[in-house]
Amino acid sequence: MIRLEDVCFDYPGGGEALRSVSLKVAPGELLALVGANGSGKSTLLAVAAGLFEPSSGRVTASGLVRLMIQQSELEILGATVGEDLMLGREKQGAEAEARARAMANGFGLGDLWDASVSSLSFGQRRKLCLAAALLDEPDALLLDEPFSGLDYPAEREMRRLLAANKKKGLAQAVATHDLEPLMDLADVAALLDGGRLIACGLVEDVLERVEAHGVRAPCAWRLRRGLPPWEDDGPAD
């Protein structure tokens, strides 16, 4: 579980980024953290992951927390897929490599083990970052705009991975300003605007308020006040 209690954060150069934010993400729960660009979503995830220390308030987490940032090129450190997945694990021997290769296979990256990361597509780089995070067997996973820049097949694959993580009991917080591919998967939602928590709770209740804060509601919600699931959450063709 991750819990934020009355958390504030000010940038060192001045300017408040978060003001009195309180929320929690329970095991097996997917929190949709929604808001327009500049609303404080990325900062909140960084504070929750321990990258930033809050100016005041308290952050607690049970178990290991991993953060997948939006800029995958800043997160990938290895020259090849295999090297990136094995960073920090080289001394663990054959068993660690077997686990890393199995993870790569599960993400459709097995045949690219020796491929340069520069040759990967945008979606493949996102999957590599997620595979590396899951290799650490985290208890909580924080994802910043994981659907940004993905085409439809890659969106479906990302949805499948998020759903699988829920079944494994991971606590997940997903920050996004594009609600279309996420909201039917979410258990709860939180709306940020100007670093303040505007609403937090049932997805349906939060969706009633998003457009007043610069976020477009999913099409199905705007038309019928419903959130039908996508055609399937299986692997993309």
- The CATH number for 202's domain is 3.40.50.300
The model scores a pTM over 0.85: yes
Residue 233 has pLDDT above 70, yes or no: no
**224 and 158 share a domain?**
yes
Task: Provide the number of structural domains found in the chain.
Answer: 2
**110 and 92 share a domain?**
yes
- In a domain, residue 125? The reply is yes
Residue 53 has pLDDT above 60, yes or no: yes
For residue 220, the enclosing domain spans 24-51+139-237
Residue 157 has pLDDT above 80, yes or no: yes
Interstrand relation of 65-68 and 196-201 (parallel, antiparallel or unpaired)? unpaired
Residue 173 has pLDDT above 80, yes or no: yes
Distance CA 195, CA 53 (A): 15
**38 and 152 share a domain?**
yes
- Cα(first)–Cα(last) distance of the chain, in Å? 34
Q: Between the ranges 17-21, 151-155, 218-222, where is the mean pLDDT highest?
A: 17-21
Residue 234 has pLDDT above 60, yes or no: no
pLDDT at 237: 39
